[in-house]
Every structure is written in C-alpha cells, then in structure tokens.
C-alpha cells in the first residue's frame, strides 16, 4: 500500500483511527493509536514522536525522544477493534538525523536486507517460518517469595481422559505425542484454527493451511514465504491474530517453547532462500540438488549456531525443548529430508523451491532479529566458503553413543548462548547490520531473565531436595 493509497483508504473506508505499531527488543508488539484526521502526508513522512526510555533496552531518560516512521506497505485493517482502525508497522528512527535507531529490531532486519544486496551475494532473501503454538482453557502462575507455581489446563488435553465434567467426558482426545493429524472429534481445534487462518487472509496475509500438531493442545498455521522484513511483519501479525482469536473463543494461546512437560515442545522451523538476478541462488548440482552457495550458507549457520541461539532461542524456556536424546534438533548436522538435524533441505521438484530449513529456532524469538541473524550467518558462510562437511542421512536420534559424541550440538542454556554470542558476533557486525551497542543492550535484557530464572527456587527442587 503506497502512502497515497494509505491516505485514500482512510478516507474511503471512513477509518476512525490509525494504530502505529513497533516491536521491542524482546519481540513484543507495541502500539499507540492516533485519530485518523491527524494522519496526512506530513505525518507519514515525518513520523510520530514517542518516549523511547519507556521501552526496556532502549534509550535513557535524558535521550528519550524517538520517532516512529510508518511503513505503509505493512498496513492492514485491524480485525478486532470495535472502531474502524488501520494498523501499520513502523521503523524507529533518530529524530535529529532520521537514521534508523540501531536497537530497533525492524531497522536491523532492514539493514540485513540492504547488506545482502551490497555484499553482491544476492538481491532478495525469502523466509518461511512455521511457528507452532499451544491453546489452553485455563492458565495460572505465581512467582512470589513463598510460592512458585504454574497450572495449565484444556478440555482437549491428554491428561483429562478421566476428568469428570457436568455434561460428561466424551473421551476423544489426542494422546501424548498423538496429535499429528487425527480428524475431529479428536482434533477439536478445527473451527478456531480456520477462523485464525481466515482472519489472516482477510488482512492480506498469504496463508495456505492449518493442522493440529504432535503435542496435546498444540497447533500450527501455514504462511507462504515472503521477503525478510515483510515476513517478520507477518509473523507479528500471525501472533497477534492467534492471541486475539483464541481470546475471543475463551482460550489462551502461548508461543512458549515448552509450556508442558512430557510432550513435544514448540518450534519454529525457518525456511530460507536467496535469489540473484531473478534466479534461485540455492539451486545447483551438488548434494540434494543444492548449489555451492547453499552449502556454504548451511556451513555458516552450523558454524555460528551457538551464537545464533541467542536470537533463535532467546528464552530460558527454549532450552527445555532443545534437549539431547529427545525429538529436538540439537545436533549441528544437515541432511535432505531427514528431520533430526539442525538444518534440513526440504524436497522440491522445482529449482525455485530450493531452500534450507533451520529447525532449531522457536517462536519466542524476535522475528526481525532471528531472521536477520540467520541471514548474516548464511552470508558469512557464502563469503568465506564455509563448507558444512558431509551430510548426515541417517536417523541421528538412533546413533550409537560413540558416534553421537562426535557431532557438535547447539547450546543447552540461555546462559551458554549469551556466552557464545559474546565470543562470536563479528559476523553480525558486518555492514553495520547489528551494532555493538545493540548487542550489549540485548544481552543486558537477557541476563536479567537468566538471573531471575537461576535465582528462583523451582517446585521440582522441593520434590528432589526438601527432605534432604
């Protein structure tokens, strides 16, 4: 949507409000709503001033003035507000220079796109994330000096086969790891997922499918690939719509990687490709019909995987999913079609469909930072011709211990990921895509989370040690 189309939509559709939205360093969507009569060409060109010191990890109070610059290409009619509201995603800029603010995630993603072009590696990068989520009916948690607890429940959960309900228990539920893909009544999420997907389509997103996932109460909707910044915007819309449609149904959606024990966690497989001069750069005659560039891209991701964890798996909860010995992509290996390694090459008949899939990310990630970091690792691999070694075309979950010991892994904790990012971040600084100041601010936020997690007693510890 051009600026003129944006203003025309406000007039033609009698739009009452414009919701200007941006993403904070942790990946949470933020917003401020302005009356539509305040929005004109000057507003779109000059932006909206706000207090950056109120956003964690950004400006100090003595340098708090910042500006939101709307990107009308991202505009959509909000499907949830009672008053007609046109929403638009913004890039954060410095008010005195108009330059992108170096800690703005969306600006970083735009920097990554610019760097790809300036590097000569390619013209466009495309991303296709597959973000899973859980739906619950009841969610409660407490973190107090004398009480740390959580409780989740859902009528369709596997643990409720023996629960007494006023209208009776119908008994049709997916078992543990049994949610992929039974029809209703075992899968009772059909209608809510359909409404989620239809809502996405109505606001202009390109979507294709939905289904129940492996775990009890776990679901996934499908988005069609798009360019880096556009797809990061789409993932923010994806989360926003899922949260709000679930809320309308009296349910609660979460993108936590591991909200329940003993069942599959939630991942976000990220499909990636680069095009140059109108042709797919990753198609070739090497392993799995890949090009040298595609293999080098994989090599960059595998080399920097532990530093990437800081962005692809940025929560302490992420590492309750990335556990060796379970069905989690913790091994730094690659293969065609094999889903047990960190990187997979999905099968495709057409050279246009040639892509690589990073399987270790999860949807707690800030999509702008996650996609930008993955692209930077891949570009580093291409520029330095980092070969990933031989592919692993066997079930990595079933390897003998002595062979398994020789395969490197991703990080096992957020603390380790921060330490790795401290040691390995030069590839992110190329072309000023990320900055040292930004990385320091981001790491400060993550260390706060690590300290909160590590300094709080856990209920399991009472079970294990209270009687000692």
Please list the active-site residues.
51, 130, 132, 213, 220, 269, 339, 357, 359
Tokens of 168: 């009776």
185 prior amide bond cis, ω within 30: yes
Binding-site sequence positions for ATP:
208, 339, 352
Binding-site residue set: 130, 132, 208, 213, 220, 264-265, 269, 321, 327, 339, 352, 357, 359
3-class secondary structure for the chain?
CCHHHHHHHHHHCCCCEEEEEEECCCCCEEEEEEEHHHCCHHHHHHCEEEEHHHCCCCCCHHHCEEEEEECHHHCEECCCCCCCEEEEEEEEECCCCCCECCCCHHHHHHHHHHHHHHHCCCCEEEEEEEEEEEEECEEEEEECCCCEEEEEECCCCHHHCCCCCCCCCCCCCCCCCCCCCCCCCCCCCHHHHHHHHHHHHHCCCCEEEEEECCCCCEEEEEECCEEHHHHHHHHHHHHHHHHHHHHHCCCEEECCCCCCCCCCCCCEEEEEEEEECCEECCECCCHHHECHHHHHHHHHHHHCHHHHHHHHCCCHHHHHCCCCCCCCCCECCEEECCCCCCEEECCCCCHHHCCEEECCCCCCCCHHHHHHHHHHHHHHHHHCCCCCCCCCCCCHHHCCHHHHCCCCECCCCHHHHHHHHHHCCHHHHHHHCCCHHHHHHHHHHHHHHHHHHHCCCCHHHHHHHCCC
Find out whether 4 and 12 touch, Cβ atoms under 8 Å.
no
CA distances to 149, 224, 388, 422, 460 from 146, rounded to whole Å, are 10, 47, 49, 35, 15
Annotated binding site for L-glutamate: 264-265, 321, 327, 339, 359
Residue 110 CB partners (closer than 8 Å, separation 6+): 91, 100, 229
The pair of three-digit structure tokens given for residue 176, joined into one six-digit string = 């543990």
Joined together, the tokens standing for residue 392 give 């692993």
Residue with tokens 């003595």: 62
- Tokens 């690659």 sit at which residue? 334
CA–CA separation, 377 and 302 (whole Å): 9
Residues of each annotated binding site for Mg(2+):
130, 132, 213, 220, 269, 357
């Amino acid at each position: 949507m051009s600026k003129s189309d944006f203003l025309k939509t406000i007039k033609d559709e009698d739009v009452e409000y414009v919701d200007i939205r941006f993403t904070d360093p942790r990946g949470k969507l933020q917003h401020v709503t302005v009356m539509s009569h305040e929005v004109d060409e000057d507003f779109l060109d000059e932006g909206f001033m706000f207090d950056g010191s109120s956003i964690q990890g950004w400006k100090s109070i003595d340098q708090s003035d910042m500006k939101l610059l709307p990107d009308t290409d991202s505009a959509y009619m909000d499907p949830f507000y009672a008053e007609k509201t046109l929403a638009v995603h913004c890039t954060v800029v410095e008010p005195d220079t108009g330059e992108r603010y170096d800690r703005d995630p969306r600006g970083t993603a735009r920097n990554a796109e610019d760097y790809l072009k300036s590097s000569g590696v390619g013209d466009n990068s495309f991303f296709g994330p597959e973000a899973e989520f859980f739906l619950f009916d009841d969610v409660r948690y407490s973190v107090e000096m004398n009480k740390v607890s959580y409780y989740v429940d859902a009528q369709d959960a596997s643990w409720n086969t023996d629960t007494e309900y006023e209208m009776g228990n119908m008994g049709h539920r997916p078992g543990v790891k049994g949610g992929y893909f039974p029809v209703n009544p075992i899968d009772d999420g059909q209608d809510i997922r359909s409404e989620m997907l239809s809502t996405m389509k109505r606001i202009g997103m390109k979507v294709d499918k939905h289904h129940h996932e492996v775990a009890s109460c776990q679901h996934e909707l499908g988005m069609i690939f798009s360019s880096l910044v556009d797809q990061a915007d789409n993932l923010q819309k994806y989360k926003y719509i899922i949260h709000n449609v679930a809320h309308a149904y009296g349910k609660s959606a979460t993108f936590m990687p591991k909200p329940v024990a003993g069942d599959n966690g939630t991942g976000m497989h990220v499909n990636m490709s680069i095009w140059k001069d109108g042709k797919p750069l990753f198609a070739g005659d090497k392993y799995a019909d890949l090009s040298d560039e595609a293999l080098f891209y994989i090599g960059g991701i595998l080399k920097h995987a532990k530093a990437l964890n800081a962005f692809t798996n940025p929560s302490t909860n992420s590492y309750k999913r990335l556990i060796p010995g379970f069905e989690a992509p913790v091994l730094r290996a690659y293969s065609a079609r094999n889903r047990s390694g960190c990187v997979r090459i999905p099968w495709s008949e057409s050279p246009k469909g040639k892509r690589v899939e990073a399987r270790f990310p999860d949807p707690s990630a800030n999509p702008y930072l996650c996609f930008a970091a993955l692209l930077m690792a891949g570009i580093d691999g291409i520029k330095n011709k980092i070969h990933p070694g031989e592919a692993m075309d066997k079930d990595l979950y079933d390897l003998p211990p002595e062979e398994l010991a020789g395969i490197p892994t991703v990080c096992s904790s957020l603390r380790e990921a921060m330490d790795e990012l401290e040691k390995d971040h030069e590839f992110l600084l190329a072309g000023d895509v990320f900055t040292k100041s930004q990385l320091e601010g981001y790491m400060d936020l993550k260390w706060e989370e690590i300290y909160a997690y590590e300094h709080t007693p856990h209920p399991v510890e009472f079970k294990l040690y209270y009687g000692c």
